[in-house]
A and B are shown apart, each in its own frame.
Chain A
Amino acid sequence: MSQQNNTIGRRAFIRNSGLAGGGLILGFSWLNSCKPKQVTEAEVLEMPKEWFEINSYLKIGENGLATIYCPNPEFGQGVMTSMPMMVAEELDIAWDNVLVEIAPYDAEVYGRQFTGGSQGIRTRWEGLRTVGASAKQMLKEAAAKQWGVPVSEITTADGVLTHEASGNTLGYGEVASAAMAIAVPEEVTLKSPKEFKIISNSKKNVEGKKIVTGKPMFGIDYQYEGALVAMATHPPAFGLKLKSFDATKAKSMPGIVDVFEINTYADDYKRNFFDTNAFTELVVVVGKSTWEVMNAKKSLDIQWEPISDYEYTADRFGMEAKIKVPSGLESSDAHYAKMEELASQPGQVVRKDGDPEGVFKTAAKVIERSYTCPFLAHNCMEPMNFFAHVTEEGAKLAGPLQAPMLIEGAIAASLGLTSDKVDIEMTRMGGGFGRRAYAHYAVEAGLISKKVNAPVKLVYTREDDMTFGIYRPSYQATYRAALDENNNLVAFHVKAGGIPETPVFADRFPAGAVENYMAEQWEHNSNITIGAFRAPRSNFMAGVEQAFLDEVAELAGKDPIDFRLELLDRAMKNPVGENNDYEADRLAGVLELVRDKSDWGAEKPGVFRGVAAYFCHNTYAAHVLDVVKGADGTPRVENAVCAMDCGIVVNPDAASNMCEGGIVDGVGNAMFGGLTFRDGATQQTNFDKYRIIRHSEAPKNIEVHFVQNEIAPTGLGEPPFPPVMGALANALYKAEGRRLYNQPFISDKPPLVG
């Protein structure tokens, strides 16, 4: 058990006016997705007549049902289930008696309502448990008063308060009203992991039934009386902007209400670091139905013109950053040529241990390899969209976004409103992957609603979505390693860069494990916009570093897992440098677990194995992938074994699902993913050319294992993903006898020899 100061809990006790008038909520038509225990089927349909709001995360009905609000938005990572599990655990209520709703957006009450960076569970771990424990304490005190007994003699289990000596019991619903009058405890005691009944016990997705029955839950499904449909057209290439347009034909088409231009940001608005946007001047068509608007959009006659070089100032987490945007129409061929050129020149040294250059000159063996990857589009399956209804009184917006607080300011500034007049509802998202942290489309929806003075739903076509920007950058990395005469790794050098940012993490493994080490970086600017994409930078560096280490291990004549463990042993016992940002024992731990679970070392005919391990976003991941060739020789991942260390696993089966998805996504992007450019335009605009992994290409079986420990939990949205590319490259090498250096692997063919 641990004592927890109740700072978060007290803030949570600001009762939310959006939820309750005077703290009491009358029950009405709440969807009953979970059956309460010990009640008949008829009673199940009876929702509470009254709800008592114990705090802003939690209300309890007179019949003992509880509604728990999930503070963070959901895009498939499972927070709507796992976060309420953390509250319910400390509340001591039966999970079957819990209903879940998404919380309203209110940063003052709910803190950082941001889903991204694999930080949700990690940052909510103490706060949400404290919320549950505080409510439980208030219920206990209310019961103690009613019975006239010391609160210390009251125990709780499954939503029932018991005073053993007198034999008294009360359900939570029976004292919920009285508990509202109890002072919020200054301090509460949290359970130790050994006492958990809900946490670490798999619970099904609380929205599963709504999903499989097709209920409206996504932003694109948002329904509102009298809502119009809008679509926006942006320039067909990076480096172009709107010059003029003729909407005569579009305006005459059936169902069309208006056609006009919007400018996303107010002139005096200072962009923040998530206001990434190459296309701020858009031509908008508004009409009565999606199909009519789509047709009118196609009929627009728009003239575009080249941009000039420009720059703007953005707020980068409190620091001013000058963002320079170069003019020009860029192409992938030129990008790769430029990256090759910059890779051959000295970069900016960001870490140096020992004397790497000296050792490289005298080493027994030296190996150097270079790797590249293309831009990637997030391709969330639900295209970008947002609902807005702007009136003189204020703005009501609803839709898919990962971080309402990052866009609230831009919405308010563009609409000329104060933030308190902007109400944002977080809908379930059809995928996020980082893309929806950049919610320019919410601002656009607001501006469109204001212009037409009506409720509007802005919907991107797939083509609009794929070509708008905010991509995973294109990267290049060159690695060098030196071995001594005993095949020990004595020097390691990474130099990497990208368009437009560097992916280098100077202090990650194998930094700290090699006496002579150097990390260098370079960047080349671009007008193609980039953004966070599932494990930014790690999603390239993990794969190529792990592919390179595989080749170094081979050169050293060592087993790839043994080779890594030797290095980690050095990092544990006698680390080089002081800023190594990984725990070597935990990285070794996942490698050892995956070695055991995959039966590494057992030779199976026709099965080609690759291994990789990586640490990012506070979590450790290791994979072994088995590649088997089909009858036509096409390699496919037959089996994947994954070992993770994310500390305590809150919802194990859902956590496994996340890792399974990360592995499929990793195989898919390594094999097929790629967005290429010609004259500033993407050469892929829809799924006919942009290849996403499909059923018959996905691993046939995936096993996920977690290191069992009692360390506070960290996230899983990103960490399983990056090392997959390395494990796949290493397995494909065994299968094909040829190393792969350029993603996507499907097009990484050897040069034709004439």
Chain B
Amino acid sequence: MATFNLNINGKVKQVDVDPATPILWVLRDHLQLVGTKYGCGIAQCGACTVHLDGTATRSCMLTVSMVGNSEITTIEGLSEDGSHPVQKAWMEVDVPQCGYRQAGQIMTASALLDKNPNPSDEEIEMAMNGNICRCGTYTRIKKAVKLAANS
């Protein structure tokens, strides 16, 4: 066990955990931030995507000891009220079916748009390829990313 001070959604949070604990479980079990989802545990599905200093990162393989002073943003930190342009676009296009993986999709999409405000279809696909959606909402996700890009 060790104590870590983490920068999460603009606040410093202190946790006392095994240094090998992935950030995913620190968020879900210790900080009750459950918007970040468990899907595979091996960085293959993208459900656990958060921003680490603005870059989309799989939190299931990011251990708490690797984070240091980096800033973590989760879906809860993107905006509390759904006012972030990507969240608004997701609601406007009515993307979700089951909704389980949409937080991960939104985090990847918002990181993409921060770096590339006007991505092509191919760039959207490349950036989003690590995020599986079992419900098959890919065409709507692409539509929502483009809508967010234009807003």
Note whether A and B form a binding pair.
yes
Further 19 A-B residue pairs, CB within 8 A, beyond A381-B39, A381-B101? A76-B98, A205-B94, A207-B96, A209-B91, A214-B33, A214-B74, A214-B75, A217-B99, A220-B37, A289-B17, A289-B30, A291-B17, A382-B37, A382-B100, A430-B98, A660-B136, A687-B45, A688-B42, A695-B124
Nearest-CB distance from B52 to chain A (Å)?
A: 17
Q: Which of B37, B132, B141 contacts A687 (CB 8 A)?
A: B132
- Given A212-B82, A653-B94, A695 and B140 touching (CB < 8 A)? no
Q: Which of A474-482, A699-707, A736-744 contacts B (4 or more CB under 8 A)?
A: A699-707
Q: Is B55 an interface residue (CB 8 A)?
A: no
- Given A661-B137, A665-B136, A668-B136, A221 and B34 touching (CB < 8 A)? yes
Interface residues of B in 37-52 (CB under 8 A from A): 37-42, 44-45, 47
Q: How far is the CA of A684 from the CA of B94 in the complex (A)?
A: 33
Residues from chain A with Cβ under 8 Å of B97 in the complex: 76-78, 657-658, 661
Q: Are A254 and B18 in contact (CB under 8 A)?
A: yes
Q: Are A431 and B36 in contact (CB under 8 A)?
A: no
Q: Is A654 an interface residue (CB 8 A)?
A: yes
Q: Is A698 an interface residue (CB 8 A)?
A: yes
The 28 sampled A-B contact pairs (Cβ below 8 Å) are A76-B99, A76-B135, A212-B75, A212-B106, A214-B33, A214-B34, A214-B76, A216-B35, A220-B34, A220-B38, A223-B34, A291-B17, A381-B132, A383-B38, A429-B98, A430-B37, A459-B38, A657-B137, A662-B136, A663-B136, A664-B139, A665-B136, A668-B136, A687-B42, A695-B124, A695-B128, A695-B131, A700-B121
Q: How far is the CA of A695 from the CA of B139 in the complex (A)?
A: 8
Q: How far is the CA of A109 from the CA of B17 in the complex (A)?
A: 46
Q: Is A154 an interface residue (CB 8 A)?
A: no
Residues from chain A with Cβ under 8 Å of B7 in the complex: none
Nearest-CB distance from A675 to chain B (Å)?
A: 15
Could you tell me the dominant secondary structure of chain A's interface residues?
Answer: loop
Q: How far is the CA of A660 from the CA of B138 in the complex (A)?
A: 9
Q: How far is the CA of A213 from the CA of B28 in the complex (A)?
A: 15
Residue of B nearest to A288 (CB): B29
Q: Is A487 an interface residue (CB 8 A)?
A: no
Q: Which of A291, A382, A428, A695 contacts B18 (CB 8 A)?
A: A291
Q: Is B134 an interface residue (CB 8 A)?
A: yes
Residues from chain A with Cβ under 8 Å of B29 in the complex: 229, 289-291
- Given A223-B34, A653-B94, A687-B44, A698 and B128 touching (CB < 8 A)? no
Q: Are A431 and B137 in contact (CB under 8 A)?
A: no
Q: Are A211 and B96 in contact (CB under 8 A)?
A: yes
Residues from chain A with Cβ under 8 Å of B42 in the complex: 462, 686-688
Q: How far is the CA of A698 from the CA of B78 in the complex (A)?
A: 27
- Chain B residue total in the interface (Cβ 8 A): 64
Q: Are A213 and B18 in contact (CB under 8 A)?
A: no
Q: Are A694 and B139 in contact (CB under 8 A)?
A: no
Write out, one digit per residue, whether chain A residues 378-402 have a CB within 8 A of any chain B CB (1) or not (0).
Answer: 0111110000000000000000000
Q: Are B75 and A216 in contact (CB under 8 A)?
A: no
Residues from chain A with Cβ under 8 Å of B39 in the complex: 381, 383, 462, 687
- Given A221-B34, A289-B25, A379 and B137 touching (CB < 8 A)? no
Nearest-CB distance from A76 to chain B (Å)?
A: 3
Nearest-CB distance from A215 to chain B (Å)?
A: 7
- Given A214-B75, A687-B45, A223 and B32 touching (CB < 8 A)? yes
Residues from chain A with Cβ under 8 Å of B91 in the complex: 204, 208-209, 212
Write out, one digit per residue, whether chain A residues 646-673 have a CB within 8 A of any chain B CB (1) or not (0).
Answer: 0000000110011011111100100000
Q: Which of B17, B80, B125, B137 contacts A213 (CB 8 A)?
A: B80
Q: Is A218 an interface residue (CB 8 A)?
A: yes
Residue of B nearest to A255 (CB): B18
Residue of B nearest to A433 (CB): B134
Q: How far is the CA of A432 from the CA of B135 in the complex (A)?
A: 10
Could you tell me the dominant secondary structure of chain B's interface residues?
Answer: loop
Q: Is A29 an interface residue (CB 8 A)?
A: no
Nearest-CB distance from B10 to chain A (Å)?
A: 15
Residues from chain B with Cβ under 8 Å of A76 in the complex: 96-99, 135
Residue of A nearest to B25 (CB): A291
Write out, one digit per residue, whether chain A residues 509-528 have a CB within 8 A of any chain B CB (1) or not (0).
Answer: 00000000000000000000
Q: Is B21 an interface residue (CB 8 A)?
A: yes
- Given A213-B82, A431-B98, A657-B94, A698 and B139 touching (CB < 8 A)? yes
Q: Is A375 an interface residue (CB 8 A)?
A: no
- Given A223-B32, A660-B140, A664-B138, A654 and B45 touching (CB < 8 A)? no
Residues from chain B with Cβ under 8 Å of A702 in the complex: 139
Q: How far is the CA of A218 from the CA of B99 in the complex (A)?
A: 9
Write out, one digit per residue, whether chain B residues 71-98 have a CB within 8 A of any chain A CB (1) or not (0).
Answer: 0001110111110000100110010111
Q: Is B129 an interface residue (CB 8 A)?
A: yes
Q: Is A75 an interface residue (CB 8 A)?
A: yes
Q: How far is the CA of A217 from the CA of B37 in the complex (A)?
A: 12
Q: Are A291 and B35 in contact (CB under 8 A)?
A: no
Residue of A nearest to B90 (CB): A212
Interface residues of A in 678-692 (CB under 8 A from B): 686-688, 692
- Given A292-B18, A660-B139, A696 and B34 touching (CB < 8 A)? no
Interface residues of A in 686-742 (CB under 8 A from B): 686-688, 692-696, 698-702
Residue of A nearest to B1 (CB): A254
Q: Which 7 A-B pairs have the closest CB atoms?
A: A214-B35, A430-B100, A664-B136, A76-B98, A214-B75, A76-B97, A211-B99
Q: Is B146 an interface residue (CB 8 A)?
A: no
Q: Is A370 an interface residue (CB 8 A)?
A: no
Q: Are B87 and A212 in contact (CB under 8 A)?
A: yes
Q: Is A461 an interface residue (CB 8 A)?
A: yes
Q: Which of B35, B87, B101, B141 contacts A430 (CB 8 A)?
A: B101
Q: How far is the CA of A116 from the CA of B80 in the complex (A)?
A: 33
Residue of A nearest to B81 (CB): A213
Residue of A nearest to B136 (CB): A664
Q: How far is the CA of A745 from the CA of B57 in the complex (A)?
A: 32
- Given A291-B25, A694-B129, A701-B139, A213 and B98 touching (CB < 8 A)? no
Q: Are B45 and A213 in contact (CB under 8 A)?
A: no
Residues from chain B with Cβ under 8 Å of A660 in the complex: 136-137, 139-140
Q: Are A695 and B141 in contact (CB under 8 A)?
A: yes
Interface residues of B in 113-151 (CB under 8 A from A): 121, 124-126, 128-142
Q: Is B59 an interface residue (CB 8 A)?
A: no
Q: Are B135 and A431 in contact (CB under 8 A)?
A: yes
Q: How far is the CA of A218 from the CA of B32 in the complex (A)?
A: 13
Residues from chain B with Cβ under 8 Å of A661 in the complex: 97, 135-137
Q: Are B44 and A686 in contact (CB under 8 A)?
A: yes
Q: How far is the CA of A459 from the CA of B38 in the complex (A)?
A: 10
Q: Are B90 and A208 in contact (CB under 8 A)?
A: yes
Nearest-CB distance from B26 to chain A (Å)?
A: 8
Q: How far is the CA of A204 from the CA of B140 in the complex (A)?
A: 14
Interface residues of A in 210-245 (CB under 8 A from B): 211-218, 220-221, 223, 229
Write out, one digit per residue, whether chain B residues 5-27 have a CB within 8 A of any chain A CB (1) or not (0).
Answer: 00000000000011011100100
Nearest-CB distance from A505 to chain B (Å)?
A: 25
Q: Are B103 and A214 in contact (CB under 8 A)?
A: yes
Q: Are A692 and B82 in contact (CB under 8 A)?
A: no
Residue of A nearest to B39 (CB): A381
Q: Are A205 and B96 in contact (CB under 8 A)?
A: yes
Residues from chain B with Cβ under 8 Å of A209 in the complex: 82, 91
Residues from chain A with Cβ under 8 Å of B82 in the complex: 209, 212-213
Q: Are B99 and A213 in contact (CB under 8 A)?
A: no
Interface residues of A in 291-332 (CB under 8 A from B): 291-292
